[in-house]
Structure 1
Amino acid sequence: MVSTRLRWKRFFATTAPGELGVYTYRAHWLAMIGLGVFGVTHLIEVLPIFAQQQSALHGWYTLFLAALAVLTGLTLYYGLRHSVRPWVFLAYTAVVAASILALPLAWRGGCLPQNPWISGFIILAVGAAAVLWSPRVAVLYMLMIEVAYGVVSSQLISVGPGAESWVAAGMSRAVFSLMLVMILTAGKRGAQRMDLDYAEALSETLAMRRSRSETEDQERIDRLIHDNVMAALLDASRSRGVLPRRTRQLAARALDVLAEESSRSTGAHTVMVHELMDELMDALAPWRARVRFTNLRAPMRPVGEPRVFVPAYVAHGLTQAVTEAVANSARHSGSDTTTVSMEGEICEPTPINPEGFYLRFTISDTGRGFHYHDVPNHRLGVRVSIMENLDSIGGHVELDTAQGRGTRVTLIWPKDARA
């Protein structure tokens, strides 16, 4: 399922990168690039101040500057690679807070010529908190850090008379921090609205595809009914006396088609798992030269018990998702082969599947791989034909891929099965 908004919970609850929407994910790595560039420029500005204050601070305090330099580099590195890593921002906020609290312990007792070099990193830490958490948490973090820094700089260490007042410096940092929080929050909310619009477009696309599929099924049923009824009437018109066996058979077949259509309309139509496998093999016929089947094992029940069935709409959705995954592998992976496996096992009955079994399809290749959040918006195969499709029938998709190490798509139905 494509997430349409960040699941911001109260205060210190973060969201995994995989749960972010397409535009929200992009907004995150753009924020990482921006904070990374800001951090690099601030490090260059801080180095002369750091050199002046070396004699007044213990040597171990340098570790904080080294840690901030590493985190700044990682922020820029991951941002340029379009990879969202929330732990970097979490570590950044923690290191800045720890460096301020450790400042009295690092002070040797001399007089610092100007305010400690760590003060400028407060703005960066507040920006990281705004990206990582909610704006309220970012403001709360800023207030706590500024109060702690004000107590340390005014009561516990000595600063030269030429240094800027900690009140004026704190007010200036607060203004810049609040502006940064407002900009980042506006960007996040704008990205969330775009994700909502995008998800609605995906849903409409999926609905159109389903409508087209239902129309094709209806046309097929109409043709069957028409052919059988017309054949029965034609046969009856050519016969005299009691209706012959062929007429009765054709009429019975037409009634069976009508009964099947009625079953489909009520959602009660089912197919055996073996029929699902046959349907899948037919759907994959265009890629027969590249597909390698490693395991096609249906769920087994003891002899004498009924065979397992799946709803027809589930079988159709699974077939469509597997076919789309193979088609994507053929078009984009650069690999010559695609491996497909199907497994089925008995499990405890679930609300989605009271019959008590689950199915797992795995489609994999050793091609070039890709990054899901970098897929262009006009390519709807993964998001609509696979992820949205599986979610609509009660299934779940696991996507394991990266640049240069292939792709593995795992389709599981039902999603509430306990294997």
Structure 2
Amino acid sequence: MADVARNLLASVPRGRPVRNPLSLVRVTTAIARTAAGFGVAFMLQSVPAMIEQLPNMRPAWSVTMVGALVASLALTVVVSVIDRGLRIGHVTFAVVYLIALISWPFAVIDPAQAPSSSYWLYYTLTIATAMATVGLGIRLATAYVVLAPVIYGIIRITPPGGEVTITQTVLDSVYAIILGGAITIITAILRNAASSVDRAQATALQRYGHAVRQHATEAERVQVDAIVHDSVLTTLLSAARAETAEAKELAALMAGNAIGHLRDALSEAPQSDAEVSVAALANRIADAAAALSEPITVDSDGVRPGRIPVAVGEAVYSAAVQAMVNSLQHAGPARRWAVVRGGGDDIVVEVGDDGCGFDPDAVPTERLGVRVSILERVASVGGAAVIDTALGEGTVVALHWPAPKVSKGPTATEVTS
């Protein structure tokens, strides 16, 4: 079983981003980009009808509304590509489209020349409802999906709208509502599924962290119990039986040694002769990245042959996982990476992103994710963690073992954080 697990871990590709197929961020980005792409296609499809129908519209309205629609559509394309400001961009197009739709009958020059065929705004009606679904909550998006086609249908039966038949109006409106409703339902289902995956992942990592802390507590308790049994109780028995000056002096010496053992137990982790290879540590970090909901590039090309104590490997691995989770939870849309290098004498693990960053001094003291799960965890095995971050400039967490002997200055947040 152990051999199978090692083979599975070794099969994880190095130096390439490991992707999980589902997360709320990725689903939202995919839907936004799809809506923007189809928006461009449908806008181009409406150009022939637009050229034919705009001469009967007031020039000021034509320039303003067409320009606003094109500009807002371009904005949705840009924000979808850079993956920032998705809601603002898509809501902007939906609002501009609604304004153009409502103001349309007031801009018609001659109602007698109003088109009996579909008006050019109809071609982008479904795209407007799709973008409202991306940018708004489910309730507001549903209201928009119904409201926009109904407004279009009402205008179509008026003289400026072409005075088409009720049957044609109902067919156009119902078709738009059904198509927009289908998009809204599919989007809601995908978002709920992705949210469930994110919650399950967060819960699993929370339980893992709790299990790690319980294991550490139990190991420390066993160590202290052993010291109490082997040193303290023996000292107390010797002191109770001491009658001569030599026996009392020996009991005092034993008491001093027992106190020293207890003091050391508070600052030293349980010792173990077991070791793990640095390559296995790199594989575990890559495997953890594969289980997360966002792509993280894992590069272990700098790993050299060598082995490190198991306690060191566990501490560095846990701190690296916590750093990746912190990036997913707080950095926002960003490019993320992890680098493992070094050998048995020294190892360095860097976890970074180009996200929003943060102010280390502004982190509340009750937030233990950085201080306990990263800084103190690495320090407890003789290592050091350095966090280099600033607002708007991303974050890089560097885990060193053993701790560097010379500090180059207070350029980052170290173990005292």
> Do 2:155 and 2:161's aligned partners in 1 also have CA atoms closer than 8 Å?
no
Query: Is 1:47 paired with 2:47?
Result: yes
Whole-Å separation in 2 of the counterparts to 1:175 and 1:124: 13
Closer, same or farther in 2 for the Cα pair 1:132/1:406, shift >3 Å? closer
Q: Which residue of 2 aligns with 1:88?
A: 89
> Do 1:32 and 1:79's aligned partners in 2 also have CA atoms closer than 8 Å?
yes
The letter of the residue matching 1:115 is S
Closer, same or farther in 2 for the Cα pair 1:34/1:232, shift >3 Å? same
Cα deviation 1:290-312 (Å, max 9, x = unaligned): xxxxxxxxxxxxxxxxxxxxxxx
Cα deviation 1:309-343 (Å, max 9, x = unaligned): xxxxxxxx9xx9799769x99x8489xxxxxxxxx
Q: Which residue of 1 aligns with 2:383?
A: none
The letter of the residue matching 1:49 is A
> Do 2:352 and 2:396's aligned partners in 1 also have CA atoms closer than 8 Å?
no
The letter of the residue matching 2:83 is H
> Do 2:105 and 2:161's aligned partners in 1 also have CA atoms closer than 8 Å?
no
Cα deviation 1:64-98 (Å, max 9, x = unaligned): 23333333333233333333521112212211111
Whole-Å separation in 2 of the counterparts to 1:228 and 1:48: 93
2:138 maps to which of 129, 135, 139: 135
What value does the CA root-mean-square deviation take over the aligned residues? 4.7
> Do 1:154 and 1:166's aligned partners in 2 also have CA atoms closer than 8 Å?
yes
Whole-Å separation in 2 of the counterparts to 1:174 and 1:107: 26
> Do 2:388 and 2:395's aligned partners in 1 also have CA atoms closer than 8 Å?
no
Q: Which residue of 2 aligns with 1:99?
A: 100
> Do 1:109 and 1:157's aligned partners in 2 also have CA atoms closer than 8 Å?
yes
Whole-Å separation in 2 of the counterparts to 1:183 and 1:100: 26
Q: Secondary structure at the match of 2:84?
A: coil
Cα deviation 1:15-58 (Å, max 9, x = unaligned): xxxxxxx8111111111111011101111101111111120112
Whole-Å separation in 2 of the counterparts to 1:250 and 1:258: 12
Whole-Å separation in 2 of the counterparts to 1:112 and 1:164: 18
1:182 maps to which of 175, 185, 188: 185
Shift in Å at residue 225 of structure 1?
Answer: 2.5
- Whichever structure has more helix as a proportion of its residues is 2
Q: Which residue of 2 aligns with 1:18?
A: none
Deviates more, 1:251-260 or 1:151-160: 251-260
Q: Which residue of 2 aligns with 1:72?
A: 73
Q: Which residue of 2 aligns with 1:244?
A: 248
- TM-score using structure 1 length: 0.55
Query: Is 1:207 paired with 2:195?
Result: no
**How many correspondences in the alignment?**
285
Structure 2 spans left out of the alignment, 5+ residues? 1-21, 268-314, 328-336, 341-349, 357-366, 375-386, 398-411
Greater relative contact order structure (CA < 8 Å, 6+ sep): 2
Provide the identity percentage.
18
Q: Which residue of 1 aligns with 2:57?
A: 57
The letter of the residue matching 2:86 is R
Shift in Å at residue 103 of structure 1?
Answer: 0.7
The letter of the residue matching 1:24 is L
The letter of the residue matching 1:86 is R
Shift in Å at residue 152 of structure 1?
Answer: 2.0
> Do 2:153 and 2:172's aligned partners in 1 also have CA atoms closer than 8 Å?
no
The letter of the residue matching 2:114 is L
Q: Which residue of 2 aligns with 1:221?
A: 224
> Do 2:150 and 2:173's aligned partners in 1 also have CA atoms closer than 8 Å?
no
Whole-Å separation in 1 of the counterparts to 2:395 and 2:90: 29
Whole-Å separation in 2 of the counterparts to 1:387 and 1:82: 31
Structure 1 stretches of 4+ with a deviation exceeding 6 A read 160-164, 255-261, 320-324, 408-411
Closer, same or farther in 2 for the Cα pair 1:388/1:123, shift >3 Å? farther
Cα deviation 1:226-272 (Å, max 9, x = unaligned): 453266268559954476266357558869999999xx9xxxxxxxx
1:407 maps to which of 395, 402, 406: 395
- TM-score using structure 2 length: 0.55
Shift in Å at residue 141 of structure 1?
Answer: 1.7
Shift in Å at residue 210 of structure 1?
Answer: 1.3
Structure 1 spans left out of the alignment, 5+ residues? 1-21, 265-274, 276-316, 335-364, 373-382, 391-396, 412-419
